[in-house]
Chain A
Amino acid sequence: MKLPHMRRRTRLLRNLLLALLLCAAAWLAMGCPCFTAGAAFRRMEKQYLTGGPAEIVATLDARTEYLTVGLKDDYVLIAANGRVSTDILADGLLRIPYWAPGILRCFPRKEESTLLFCGNYRYDASYSRADPVFFLLDRHPEAAEAEMTLRLAGEVELNGVSVAFDETYSARAARVGEGIFLLCPPAKETEQMSFGWQRERAMFNRIFGSIFGRNDSLPVFEAAVRYYDAGGALLAEERVAMDARMI
């Protein structure tokens, strides 16, 4: 069958269109990956039927994952997207990085300051292991820094042994977006001021695992936060709510 003769300009357009279609088919074959963390967050919003786009207020690069925090009037959305590199050709000769939609955690938003635990992530290059990530949701837009004290008391099973604990920790928090603080990772020199991630991490993870897993044996939980302005002056001091129940 003889194809109709086409002018070079027409053939050029045909080829461009064909290449575009082939690329679209390849993207489809790849499972329609997202190429930015923001796009992955927006797609997850649709997948989780959140009823409209949230305002993205903070992002946290946790190496292999990317935490994105979105605020709506009634909800807080925290997405963990995996940053994936897929080798098209062996030995990384052709590698395509993209964002895989992961987990979207939805919390009800409250009037008071709220502590949100969103899992363990490696969000600091100096850490060899993943650490708990806490976001503090606030209603003090003028606050530049915050300090939180947290008292935990109860009993937890560690390696088959029941351990009673009653500890009070403190941690500083830095603003990462409008309406949201990230509890700072403990610097080595100020370890004693921190939540004690290094020493108490296993217990901490277990405790918050219990809370997160809706375990019945919840520990005593008391938390308070002090907000400071940019000059270091105390703005407010209030109790912190922690509703680990996601919706």
Chain B
Amino acid sequence: MEPRRGNAAAADDKTPAGAAHERIAAWSRAAAREIRFRPDRKAVEAELSAHLEDRAQALLASGMGEDEAAEVSVAAMGDAREIGRALSRIHSPLLGWLWVASKWLVVSALCFLLLAARADWLASGFLEGSTSLEWSGAQLLKLPAAEPVRAGDYRISVRRAAFRNGVLWVTVRAAGAPWLGAPKALASYLGAADSLGGVYGENTDENGAAVRYAGERRALFWYEYDVTVSPCPADAAWVELRYDRMGVRFALCVPLSEGGEP
């Protein structure tokens, strides 16, 4: 409960002072003492005092003496202990202490968040990545508006692709919940096939046809992997990225020309 300042403060000449003020303060103190939740007592006392002094000031304005105005105001409120007990029922100690605890909980959680964010966890954190692909200057291929495919708890899609000098560059995005982390097997086990029957293995083949990892980026809800498929014949209509491991299987088509879907 917030303490309320009465209009008495603005009118010094008419403020109940001395014995009158002390009478009001004593009554408020006696009422507040009945409240079992101690932290609330001060605020309730201030609220009651402000209310009584407002009332006394009104009586002063009507021509009543200071002491009499204070006495009438206090008498109108009734028995201080009875009022205090009624207020005590509103200011439950259980709810009060829970509220105090909840404030400390918020402060602690905020400190914990700041410390956690300060730690090295974020240093390696989100919205970072690397790639060896130079997308600038490369002419991006026009990709069909395809629905992402489902692989486990991830949604996999091709974000962008470019074809230059017999190399197909593809960015594959795996979107999922932030707590899932990176789909570690994805880039390592991607293979590919083209429309001319060419087959591209995993990263292992250094000289032959292969799908190679070229970099990655991550944000809160997705991971992106850059891969290259090479050597890719220029007259191929499409290249299909394929994943088939431990019962999880999907394919993503990248058309190299208009209408080049399989």
Residues of A at under 8 Å CB distance from B?
8-9, 11-12, 15-16, 18-19, 22-23, 25-32, 43-44, 46-52, 74-75, 86, 88-89, 94, 101, 104, 106, 247
Contact = CB atoms under 8 A, between A and B. Distances in A.
Interface size bracket, B side: 35 or more
Contacts of B120: 86
A66 to B, nearest CB: 17
B246 A51 contact: yes
B182 A29 contact: no
A27 to B, nearest CB: 8
Interface in B43-100: 95-96, 98-99
A49 B152 contact: yes
19 contacts: A12-B95, A15-B106, A19-B106, A19-B109, A22-B113, A26-B113, A29-B117, A29-B125, A30-B116, A30-B119, A44-B184, A49-B183, A49-B186, A49-B243, A50-B152, A51-B152, A88-B116, A89-B115, A104-B184
A25 B121 CA distance: 13
A41 B122 CA distance: 23
A18 B185 CA distance: 37
A47 B153 CA distance: 8
Contacts of A247: 245-246
A8 B125 contact: no
B167 interface: no
Contact of B247 (A11, A25, A52): A52
A18 B106 contact: yes
B119 A88 contact: yes
Given A12-B99, A47-B184, A48-B183, 6 more contacts: A8-B95, A11-B99, A15-B99, A18-B106, A23-B112, A74-B247
What are the 7 closest A-B residue pairs judged by CB atoms, nearest first?
A: A15-B102, A22-B109, A51-B247, A32-B179, A26-B113, A26-B116, A19-B105
Given A11-B99, A31-B121, A47 B178 contact: no
A50 B152 CA distance: 8
A14 B120 CA distance: 31
A23 B245 contact: no
B251 to A, nearest CB: 14
A43 B183 CA distance: 10
A15 B105 contact: yes
A47 B180 contact: yes
A15 B117 CA distance: 21
A50 B109 contact: no
B178 A32 contact: yes
B110 interface: yes
Interface in B206-253: 220, 243, 245-248
Nearest to A7: B95
Contacts of B183: 47-49
A75 B246 contact: yes
A5 to B, nearest CB: 9
Interface in B158-194: 178-186
A166 to B, nearest CB: 32
A77 B161 CA distance: 34
A1 to B, nearest CB: 16
B114 to A, nearest CB: 9
A42 B220 CA distance: 20
A49 B151 contact: yes
B245 A49 contact: yes
B155 interface: no
Nearest to B220: A28
Name, among B103, B109, B186, the residue most crowded by chain A CB atoms within 10 Å (CB to CB). B109
Contacts of B99: 8, 11-12, 15
Contacts of B180: 43, 46-47
Interface in B118-153: 119-122, 124-125, 151-153
A43 B116 contact: no
Contact of A16 (B105, B121, B248): B105
A23 B110 CA distance: 8
A37 to B, nearest CB: 16
A47 B181 contact: yes
Contacts of B103: 15
